[in-house]
Structure 1
Amino acid sequence: MSAPSTDRTTSRWRDWFRRAVDPECRLTLPEVRDLVADADRLLRECPGQTPAWAERPAPDVPSIRAILRGSQPMAAALGGALATLSAPGVFEDSVQLRLMAVLAHDLGVGGPGASRFDAFHRIMTAHRLTQEALPRPQLPESRVPDELFAAPAVVIALSRRPDLFTAELLGWDQQLRSRGMLAPWAWLRDADVNGDWSRLDLASTADGTPGLDKEVADCIAAADLGLERVAWGATAAECLLRQWDLALWRWTDSSSDPREAMVDLMSRRAREAVVYHDKSRLDGRSIQSWFAEARQDPRDFVEALGTSRYVRPGQPERSILLTKLTEFGSPMFRVFSPEDREIIARWILWLDEQRTTAEPTATPEVPERSAPLDAHLAAMADPAADAESPQSIREAYVALQGRHCPPAVLRFADEYVDYWLSLARRSMDRHPFPLPAELPSPGDLREWLLAAHDKHSDTIDLKHNAQHLPSREEVIDSTVQLSPLTLIDGSWLMGYTDVSFASTRVGYSLFETYWDELGNGDIEINHPKLYRDVLAGMDIDLPPTHSPEFASSDHLRDEAFELPVYWLAIGRYPVSRQPEVLGLNLAMELSGVGGSYRTARQAFRAYGFPTIFVDIHNTIDNVSTGHSAWAAEAIESYLESARAFGAEPADLEALWMRVRTGFASLDPDRTKRFGFTGSRIGESLRRRLKRGAGSDDDADPAPLRGVAHERRLYAFAAAHNQPLSGPWRRDPGAAPTNSTRTLR
């Protein structure tokens, strides 16, 4: 997708928001420079005054509704600055864990609909704005000024490149939290406007405890970051928030103006109305032609309507528009909602009055900037832009440790996932505990989970195992070879920290699972750290997981990296590979419960090694209330969403097959093991990757085949409760059509 236009007459900020909010959005540094340059131009056009919301008269209903509608994009971005900072390469970083704890308060943990954005939507619902409380991907279609998308678009776009902008994102986040609650929301709260406003206090935790702003500031101080870069993020946030304040003030003023509210109503209803008014006339023209024109600018139509026979200025109760034309049995019965009728009545009253709107109160000017915002990025280099495709499985492990990947590495990841899933499909029926072939009915998966747990337990003979333990050396070797896998535990769920996923019905338990794997922000119970404690008990000290030294360690064999690279690769596709991720997650969380964790504990105890790692997993992964149960519930929620959207039986079967494939992908038949040498499959993959390794910085980083576009369309719709459009299934071998290409 090309960068949005910078023409002031277009909806460029909507375009940026629409693109950046996609959890699989990939941005190059030149594109980010263009975005920030757009922001800088917007700020230069911004007058040197900002509104004082606290001095504004008490809010009326139109003002309340305008603020809620207009600030919805900003609410959607809450937590966005921190959402992509977590990655396998920093799983054991104590500062990153603390920041993730802050993010958890933004997103909510423990149930769907617990994020700050969800709380904002509940306030909208309390004010009869349910139909306008939109999921993030649909927000660009809302009828609010384009400038109200600027600040949210910038922070979400920057968050797509945490490899370049971690310091700037932290500066932005700290500046935002230092405000506590944004001024327009605080004005409504202080005026006792209905709603639970506490979740919109960005400096407070989910239970209302203050101090998140200080925690972020402490994290900045503890991290090795360039303070100038942090300051740039804070300045950018302050400037763009003041611009947002002023844009929202003006929007609120115009929405409170009865004439502007009527203009907005006619603009919103013109498209459907144009079909029904071919015979009625107004000022010598068909009303149909008026409505056709009103789709672009309804002001002339509203002016003509105000002087027509349909309206009596100052007397809505005697105006045909609100009486004869809309009563029971009339052509327009129930066409207008109660809110619409209120807008029309206020406009009719206003026609007989003199009405002015308030001007922004003069307050301190936007702070001086030593240089334009985009000057900071001008000299910045993107060290990853020219990275080549990995030439060994160990190189791939290192290259995939971060959140962002350069184009060549991303192509490798996509190809590797395809390769691995092809192995899983071929070996699906040979799995010792496969998912049922038939699409489960609601509740069936829960019963299957309990039965699978019983089978796991039945296969374990602890008394026999105690008499036939592997040797001490074998236990150590097995534990070491699992290190590349276990030290990135949860990496397949990396994409579910995204603000678009973490509190959805499908995504909330995946985020909580990921959150648990990393110790809920506490390094002492961080699972990778616990595993290193086990290794230390064996006198094994491996380098940091993200380092080339770890991947080149003589302790580790090549095959120890094959499954971990698959985890690292598929974790980048929370949208387009969602069914497979759901299946893999269930397989992983169930894999050791009641079985191998118990036998591992036997061996560890026999040789005096720490058992805490296997002990904790055997409990938190349990099939009743633990990660295994959550994983099954996430799959059932996913399938239930598909049914709710009217998926045909064939579509559901296709989705279920993908879930089953993901489940089998934890341990596929690797008789033809992937390898960069000596393997026909590996050599074929490497040749394909090398052909595309020289692409330039502006190239599409992951060209997907037709089926990939369709899985993106469906999965994204299901995850965000959006209406579906376009076909759901396509021949996997078909080339992408022009229509499917645009879905990226």
Structure 2
Amino acid sequence: MPAFALPDTFVVAPLSASEFDPSAAAVAHEMIAAGPESVYHRLVGDQESEAVFLLARHVLNGFLGGVREPTDQDAGAQEADGIAERTAQVHRQISGMLQPLREAEPRVRDAVLAQRAPLALIGGCWLDSVSQPATQPSIVVNHLVRHQFVWRGEGNPRRGLQQLRGRALEDLGVFLPDVTAPDFLRRAEARPLTAWHGAYHLSLARLPTTFLPEVVGTHYVVAALGVDELLLGTRPMVVEADLRAALADYLALAPASVRSRLYAAVTRTLAMELEHVRLLADVAEWHAGLSLDAQVARIVARHAPFAGKQHRNVRVGGRPLTERFGDPDFDLAAFICDLRASPQLRPRDGGCRFLRAIKFGGPMFGIFDEQEAATFQRWAEAIAAGNPPGVELTPNTAGDDAAHALAEAIGALPPEVRLRAAAQSDDREFLHRLVNIENFPNTLALARARAEEGLARAEILFEHGGDGVLTDASWFAYSPSALNERVDRIYWDKLVNPYRPLTEIPDRDEVIFGQKTFALGSMIDGAWAHRIGATGRYTRRSDGMLYSIYADEMGRGDVTKNHITLIYRVLASMGIEVPHIRDTAFLDQDELPDHLYGFSLFQLSLALFPDSLYDEILGYNLGIEMFGLGTMRMHETQKLRRYGFDVAYEEAHLTIDNLSAGHARQSAEIIIAYLHDVAKLSGADAVSSHWERIWRGYASFAYFIEHELVAGLTRHESADVII
């Protein structure tokens, strides 16, 4: 049985095929048939469903299926410096193409910026869940965690990459809703090819372990090219030298087959960014070529569906306005010609009826925004000046040929997809599936059931939790002061004041066995929060605060400080060797006891639902971060030192989880910040239901820690049933 040894040189998932329930195939095909906008919206808005994992497989297969494999002549180009030079050449080419777009008239420039926004505002999404139990403590993944930590504003969402780009767009006059909003792509007037490109990036975010070579290649190219920085005039948050260092380390570790995949991804991503810049140029050219009549036609087309019965007495071209707009064969060009010649646009006393109607006090005030009203003003002035009509409505088809070809490729079933229903399995097999969830998305329903079952069971501690040795999950009404009081009481009464140094140290074998009982949970340290802060969800204070805790658990990208590195160091000091939990060989390990898998299975299941079980994760986080303090940790440290075993893992938690300003205190502050936002957005009455779910999450942690208490309550309940 191959044992895992540090450093972790992981470069790609050991499994390549993925299992899906047959029902997921129909859902994925329905989404693809609905078009690229539907695919984009589903990928950015859903990180929990099985169908989205399959949808991501489709998208990645469509983009990568026809990419040329490197030849022997490409050997030098596959090295980090060779890739950097290719990227620099494309950067120079793109810089020249973007310069005139930035300097275009505001109307055209804004259209270009809006067109790029569906990519700019999801920038870095491919790193959303690259750090996870299956990939840690990999050398390369920790490089990526460092970059992600910077891009996420070091735990402050307002300083994160996506928010900075959003503000840069607004500073330039482009205002768009959040990327998860139903009308985001419509407001950006995103071309189908733009939506497909965004879907590719979002698909990498869903499958980063299976497609890690593609993530690393895409990450380097997109960040090093810096299309969005060139367009927005912002500075890169991660410098090219740092990007290249991560790329070089990955290539040094990767076998030839993986290097070929990365090279292919680099080639594809360079081509995609060039393709999208050309699309932006085509969009700019189309907008620049619009006559004033055509610009007005676009405005009319946007508003015509909302024209109500109040317009029934208004006639244009001899027909009531409501009748014309309601005509299924509505001729927009003819309407603009008729409106041009109508009494509403006829110059009179330095103006016209239509312009007076859309100004303050007029019957149409507020219908058109400031930019639209300015367009109507210029149009009326041109008509008054005798400018001839120019209503040639040429559709915008930028990128449509490439988008159509992609749609065809994406629709095909990926070759490594297996359609089969998930079956109940033993704990070892279930753990393997949860760790490698990208390869077993059909297990998600079972994971949901496991999480919900554990949360429901834990509610018994709402009444009896005060009797816990290390926790107190008994119910109390929420207020910030009440939560802080409970946290302080648990800390002093249960974790610190009971501490007395051990006067007798168990024998060596007993100490080793004790560590084995904790080891499996430690191997997935931080897992409960590894999906927090995904693209479109990193806006609340609580998101940044909880992400910061996760980043700390992973050493903020320093692999030597990564907590999973530390637990493997401890095990190695005891002579305990096991495969990494991602490996199939772990199914056969005989070092760690079987009867304690439940804790890890629950935590991994909970982690897979960071949106729908967000409240519960906050409560669970409080429980697990406080568990790092006090008597238990100090006793374990004493035992380990007695036999010369590594104490790094225990010491790290005693310091970083401290109640003064560490993770334990931060975990309470996260809950307070989150519930403050709930009250502000939904009213004070909404807080109680969210609090109950949060405390249920805390109780679910306590349920696994308080073995004797839970066992006694279970025996008591069983006796009641028998009687």
TM-score normalised to the size of structure 2?
0.77
Higher helix share: 2
What amino acid is aligned across from residue 690 of structure 2 in structure 1? Answer: L
For residues 39 and 260 of structure 1, what CA distance do their matches in structure 2 show? 35
- What whole-Å deviation, never above 9, does each CA across 1:548-598 have from its counterpart, x for those lacking one? 444533332212211011111111111121111111111111123244333
Amino acid across the alignment from 2:247 = V
2:344 paired with 1:346: no
Q: Which moved more, 1:28-37 or 1:338-347?
A: 28-37
In 1, the alpha carbon distance for the partners of 2:52 and 2:180 equals 22
Structure 1 pair 589–112 and aligned structure 2 pair: CA distance change class (3 A): same
Distance in 2 between residues matched to 1:434 and 1:574, nearest whole Å: 24
- Name the structure 2 match of 1:134: 178
CA shift for structure 1 position 654: 2.7
Deviation of the 1:435 alpha carbon = 5.4
1:116 aligns with 2:161: yes
Matches within 5 A, 1:62-81: 62-81=107-126
Find the residue that maps to 1:523 and give its secondary structure. Answer: coil
Letter paired with 1:545 = I
Rate the CA distance shift 1:441–1:267 in 2: closer, same or farther, 3 A.
Answer: farther
Paired with 2:409 and 2:304, the residues of 1 have a C-alpha distance of 44
2:246 to 215, 219, 234: 215
The residue type equivalent to 1:13 in the other structure is P
Conserved 8 A contact 2:358-2:366: yes
Identity between Structure 1 and Structure 2 (%): 22
Deviations 1:280-323 (A, max 9, x none): 3322233334555699985554443333233358x99623333x
Instruction: Tell me how far 1:443 sits from its aligned partner.
Output: 5.8
Q: How far, CA to CA, are the matches of 1:3 and 1:317 in structure 2?
A: 58
TM-score by length of 1: 0.75
1:180 matched to 2:212? The reply is no
Q: Any conservation in 2 of the 1:580–1:660 contact (CA below 8 Å)?
A: yes
Cα deviations across residues 655-691 of structure 1 (Å, max 9, x unaligned)?
Answer: 22221111111131668999xxxxx99xxxxxxxxxx
What CA distance in whole angstroms lies between the structure 1 residues aligned with 2:31 and 2:457?
Answer: 43
The one-letter code matched in structure 2 to 1:286 is P
**Change in 2 beyond 3 A, CA 1:36/1:605:** closer
Match of 2:195 among 106, 129, 149: 149
Instruction: Tell me if structure 1 keeps the 8 A contact 2:60–2:203.
Output: no
CA deviation string 1:296-353 (max 9, x = no partner): 985554443333233358x99623333x324443323444443332232234345555
* Distance in 1 of aligned mates of 2:537 and 2:267: 29
Q: Determine the structure 2 residue equivalent to 1:481.
A: 517
**Native 8 Å contact 1:274 1:292 kept in 2:** no
Mapping 1:187-202, distance limit 5 Å:
187=231, 189=233, 197-198=234-235, 201=236
> Cα offset for 1:378?
7.9
Residue 37 of structure 2 is aligned to residue 14 of structure 1: yes
Amino acid at match of 1:501: R
Displacement of 1:372 in angstroms is: 9.2
Residue 86 of structure 1 contacts residue 403 of structure 1 at CA under 8 Å; is this kept in 2?
Answer: no
**Paired letter, 2:218:** W
Give the secondary structure class of the aligned counterpart of 2:343. coil
Report what 2:11 is aligned to.
none
Q: In structure 1, how many angstroms separate the alpha carbons of the residues matched to 2:406 and 2:29?
A: 21
Which residue does 1:579 correspond to in 2? 615
Structure 1 residues 458-477: aligned runs within 5 Å:
458-462=496-500, 465-477=501-513
Is the counterpart of residue 391 in structure 1 residue 425 in structure 2? Answer: yes
Whether the aligned pair in 1 keeps the contact of 2:125 and 2:535 (CA below 8 Å) is yes
Residue pair 1:476, 1:538 contacting (<8 A) in 2 also = yes
- State the 1:272 CA deviation: 4.4
- Which range moves more in the overlay, 250-259 or 78-87? 250-259
- SS in structure 2 opposite 1:175? helix
The CA distance in 2 between the partners of 1:408 and 1:673, in whole Å, is 32
Per-residue CA shift, 1:696-721, capped at 9, x if unaligned? xxxxxxxxxxxxxxxxxxxxxxxxxx
1:287 aligns with 2:321: yes
Deviation at 1:144, TM superposition (A): 0.7
Distance 2:648 2:185 in 1: 48
Paired with 1:512 and 1:273, the residues of 2 have a C-alpha distance of: 49
Cα deviation 1:89-110 (Å, max 9, x = unaligned): 2212112221222233333322
Please tell me whether residue 634 in structure 1 is matched to residue 679 in structure 2. Answer: no
| Cα distance, 1:277–1:629 mapped onto 2, change above 3 Å | farther
Partner of 1:452: 490
Q: Which residue identity does 1:66 align to in structure 2?
A: A
Q: Pick closer, same or farther for the CA change 1:306–1:250 going to 2, 3 Å.
A: farther
In the TM superposition, residue 414 of structure 1 has moved relative to its aligned partner by 1.8
Deviations 1:186-238 (A, max 9, x none): 2553xxxxxxx11xx3xx51xx6754255335424433452332233233323
1:637 CA drift (Å): 3.5
Query: Which amino acid is the alignment partner of residue 699 of structure 2?
Result: A
Q: Residue 490 of structure 1: CA displacement?
A: 0.6
Cα gap change, 1:70/1:664 in structure 2, threshold over 3 Å: closer, same or farther?
Answer: same
- Distance change in 2, residues 1:660/1:273 (3 Å): same
1:546 is the counterpart of 2:582: yes
Shift, 1:120, TM fit = 1.2
> Which secondary structure state, in structure 2, belongs to the residue aligned with residue 87 of structure 1?
coil
Cα distance change on mapping 1:624 and 1:67 into 2, 3 Å: farther
Q: For residues 440 and 667 of structure 1, do their structure 2 counterparts lie closer, same or farther at Cα, with a shift above 3 Å needed?
A: closer
Equivalent pair of 1:274/1:288 in contact (CA under 8 Å): yes
In structure 2, what residue type is equivalent to 1:401? V
Query: Hey, what's the Cα distance between the residues in 2 that align with 1:521 and 1:96?
Result: 8
- Change in Cα spacing, 1:414 to 1:667, as seen in structure 2 (3 Å) is same
- In structure 1, what is the Cα distance between the partners aligned to 2:593 and 2:278? 60
- CA 1:249 to 1:321, structure 2 compared with 1: closer, same or farther past 3 Å? farther
RCO higher in structure (CA 8 A, sep ≥6): 2
Residue 173 of structure 1, CA deviation: 2.6
**Matched AA of 2:372:** D
SS in 2 for 1:507: helix
Unaligned runs of 5+ in 1: 44-48, 190-196, 360-365, 675-679, 682-744
Which of 48, 56, 62 is equivalent to 1:24? 48
In 1, Cα distance between the equivalents of 2:431 and 2:643? 31
SS of the equivalent of 1:496 reads coil
Contact 2:434 2:604 in 1 (8 A): yes
Q: For each residue in 1:436-493, what CA deviation from the matched residue of structure 2 results, as whole angstroms up to 9, or x when unmatched?
A: 745524565345433433334554233xx33255444333221111110001101111
Which range moves more in the overlay, 49-58 or 504-513? 49-58
Note if contact 2:28-2:54 (Cα within 8 Å) is conserved in structure 1.
no
Q: Distance in 2 between matches of 1:86 and 1:113?
A: 22
Distance 1:419-1:99 versus aligned 2 partners, 3 A rule: same
For residues 382-420 of structure 1, the C-alpha deviation after alignment (integer angstroms, 9 at most, x for no partner) is: 376558535211222222212415244223212221221
Matched with 2:84 is: none
Taking the TM superposition and a 5 Å limit, the aligned residue runs for 1:195-274 are: 197-198=234-235, 201=236, 204-205=237-238, 210-224=241-255, 226-256=258-288, 257=290, 258-274=292-308
- Corresponding residue for 1:506? 542
**Structure 1 residues 559-568 or 530-539, which shifts more?**
530-539
Q: 1:532 to 1:211 in 2, by over 3 A?
A: closer
2:353 match: 320
Following superposition, the deviation at residue 163 of structure 1 comes to: 4.7
> What is the rounded CA distance, in whole Å, between the counterparts of 1:538 and 1:97 in structure 2?
26
Q: Note if contact 2:641-2:647 (Cα within 8 Å) is conserved in structure 1.
A: yes
Inter-partner Cα distance in structure 1 for 2:585 and 2:445:
24
Secondary structure of the corresponding residue to residue 667 of structure 1? helix
Secondary structure of the residue that 1:544 maps to in structure 2?
coil
1:122-180 Cα deviation digits (max 9, x unpaired): 112223444x2424344245351332212011221243233542223333333323413
User: After superposition, where does 1:362-381 map in structure 2 within 5 Å?
Assistant: 381=415
Deviations 1:604-655 (A, max 9, x none): 3344333332222122222343222332233234333433443573x54332
